Amino acid sequence: MKKRGRPRVDPAERFWPNVEKTDECWIWKGGANKRGYGSFFDGVWNVRAHRYSYELAIGPIPPGLHLDHLCRNTRCVRPDHLEPVTGEENHRRGRAAREEARLKKWAEFAESAGPPPARTDRNSRRENAAFNEST
């Protein structure tokens, strides 16, 4: 069957030039919405780039399901980094990821503070006192 009207480039062909494949993630280089998700015009709608990629590679996403980024990279469109989950599950994972990020931040903070000064050094005894006062 031949399509009527002016010939149009297949949206799928327009899609891939916007994707930069790294060893890990396939990064969407096209437009993005306010929440940081890639946005792509499929010829009819503006769709989420990662959803479009998943549907190209795997097939339709069951209604009501969200695509969760296993790599937590919202710009990633690599189909095997995406997993359909219920909205609830996605929220739960989002919270877990935020918690993880918070803990990581703390760990980095603790590391940058360095080890407490050695006790034998006279100068560091003062630092030690300051350290103890501040805690």
The residues binding Zn ion (CB under 5 A) are 25, 71, 73, 76, 78, 81
* 3-class state of residue 68 by DSSP: strand
Task: Determine the Cα–Cα distance for residues 30 and 15; give it in Å rounded to an integer.
Answer: 9
State the minimum distance, in angstroms, from the CB of residue 76 to Zn ion: 3
Q: Which is nearer to Zn ion, 39 or 73 (CB)?
A: 73
CB of 88 to Zn ion, least distance (A): 22
- Residue placing its CB nearer to Zn ion in the complex, 39 or 74: 74
* Of 46, 50, 43, 44, the residue nearest 26 (C-alpha): 50
Tell the smallest beta-carbon distance from residue 80 to Zn ion (Å). Answer: 8
Whether the Cβ atoms of residue 67 and residue 74 lie closer than 8 Å to each other: no
